[in-house]
Amino acid sequence: MPMSDDRGRAESLNIINALRRGTVPASGLARLAVGIEVEEGVIARQLAFVADGGGDLKFIKGDYGAGKTFLLARALELAQEQGFATAHVVVSSETPLARLRSVYQRIAANLRTRDDESAFKAVIDSFLYAIEERVLEIRGDDLPDEELREETVRSIERSLAELAEGSTAFAAAVRAYYEANADEDYGLAQGALGWLAGEPNVGRPFRAKAGVRGTIDETVTLAFLVDLIAVVRGAGFSGLVIALDEAETTQALPRAQREKAFNNLRQLIDLLDRGELSHCYLLVTGTPSFFEGAKGVRSVPPLADRIGTVGDDGYRNPLQPQLSLARFDAQKLEQVALRVMDIYAEAHGEVDRERVSHRFIRAQIRQLTGRFGGRVDVIPRLFLREFVDVLDKAALYPEYDPWSAYRFDPAATEVTLNEEEEAVMVVEW
């Protein structure tokens, strides 16, 4: 279905605003995507398989500047377009792979759908609404409220038991949430949501009401993840896509925690392969050192065996567990700039393509990459910020001549480079 003019312009404005800030736009990424058609196709086919009841994964490998963040964001956008709920988790010292409970908490906190940015509550509400609708369909619309409530409570536990063989505590908490809302006890309902989301400091009144103890811990986290996926499915979604971003930070952990993190990854892969995480798609991004370094995946052979690649004969095989990204080059950057001009025109009005010409774009790329020793892979974000600035000035000032006015200030690089870009500048190929 074609996008309405108003919606298309709003999306274009959002894209340009994000590029001004040097961030990945929240939507419309297909309009910027260059050179990832094969990768998109592979991911789309995997998502279709997962929607049909499978479980699958993809490890995205690339140097800093290869576009891992962009491809990951595009994959999540594709997933939401296909009816999935998604969760983007940045692996860090606060959310290490060694602590599955922390990962689960971030999954719940970052749950997104096409309609909701913070979707955890909305997904559970949709799940309960669907159960009530089924009860009314079977028992009739004139069912008294008390009987509807009793039958819905029974159906909650039956539904979770049918959809997932997980923790009975999860079903008890969902039931407590439903009953608290029915009683208009919204404090208790909020406590139930917090407990289901893995929050550590949920009050005693909720635990007493629901008949559960303590909080979610490492021993039940994966069971809770299975139940969460069941709720996502029961709410009408195709499944859950989990993105574990910047997994290379795992290498900085002490050896015992690092090995635990890698074994947690292996366990997730085995659950997917055994069909115990159906309707779940796992995406993991990492730099080459994460896969090949001494403190990376290869330090835990059982994991390395599961996600390793078969030889390298010059032909990339994106169907293998690892999907390797090539570094960004000047030709791709030029294509992106031309697309940005079209998006800018929709957002702010037609661009003067005589002043901001194709020839000027190439010259700007040469000038900016020259400041970084010809390294195109490190500068896409910086270039697009500079390029949008040129487009802005050309739109604002009729007398503005990009050829004579544009100057890249090398002194600004110290404050505009982010950690990834600073890191890649010291890497020698």
- Residue 375 confidence class, pLDDT cut points 50, 70, 90: low
pLDDT tens digits along 283-301: 999 999 999 999 999 999 9
Per-residue pLDDT at 270 exceeds 50: yes
Cα angle 318-322-327, degrees, rounded to a multiple of 5 = 75
Task: Report the pLDDT value the prediction gives residue 347, as an integer from 0 to 100.
Answer: 93
For residue 234, what pLDDT is reported? Answer: 92
CA distances from 364 to 297, 307, 333, 401, 405 (A): 40, 40, 11, 13, 12
pLDDT mean over 381-398? 90
Q: Does residue 13 or residue 426 have the better pLDDT?
A: 13
Average pLDDT for residues 358-367, to the nearest whole number? 87
Tokens of residue 309, six digits? 């690649």
Structure tokens at 202: 């949920």
Helix (H) or strand (E) segment spanning residue 57: strand 55-61
pLDDT band for position 130 (cuts 50, 70, 90): very high
Closest by CA position to 128, among listed 173, 88, 93, 178: 178
Cα–Cα distance for residue pair 347/144, rounded to 1 Å = 53
| 235 contacts: CB under 8 Å, gap ≥ 6 | 85, 123, 124, 126, 127, 130
Three-class SS state of 245: strand
CA of 226: how far to CAs of 55, 104, 209, 346, in Å? 12, 11, 24, 43
Would you kindly state where each structural domain of the chain is located, as residue ranges?
37-113+237-324, 120-222, 330-425
Architecture of domain 37-113+237-324: 3-Layer(aba) Sandwich (3.40)
Distance CA 236, CA 232 (A): 7
For position 415, what pLDDT does the model report?
39
In this prediction, residue 413 has a pLDDT band, given cuts at 50, 70 and 90, of: very low
Distance (Å, whole) CA 142 – CA 5: 44
pLDDT score of 411 more than 70: no
pLDDT of residue 289: 92
Q: Which two tokens stand for residue 157?
A: 């536990």
**Can you give the pLDDT at residue 417?**
52
Tell me which of 99 and 166 has the higher pLDDT. Answer: 99
Q: Flag whether pLDDT at 423 surpasses 60.
A: no
Position 329 confidence tier, pLDDT thresholds 50, 70, 90: confident
Highest mean pLDDT among 145-159, 175-189, 217-231, 336-350: 336-350
Pairing of strands 322-324, 55-61: parallel
Q: How much is the CA Rg of the chain, to the nearest whole Å?
A: 25
| DSSP state at residue 412 | G
pLDDT of residue 134: 84
Most confident of 85-89, 193-197, 310-314: 85-89
Q: What is the mean pLDDT of residues 313-336?
A: 83
Note the residue count of the chain. Answer: 429
CB 378 within 8 A of CB 370: no
Please give the order of strands across the beta sheet that includes 111-112. Answer: 111-112, 85-90, 240-245, 280-286, 55-61, 322-324
Q: Grade residue 333 by pLDDT with cuts at 50, 70 and 90.
A: confident
Quick check: helix, strand or coil at residue 351? coil
Dihedral angle computed from the Cα positions of residues 214, 85, 107 and 227, in that order, rounded to the nearest 10 degrees: 30
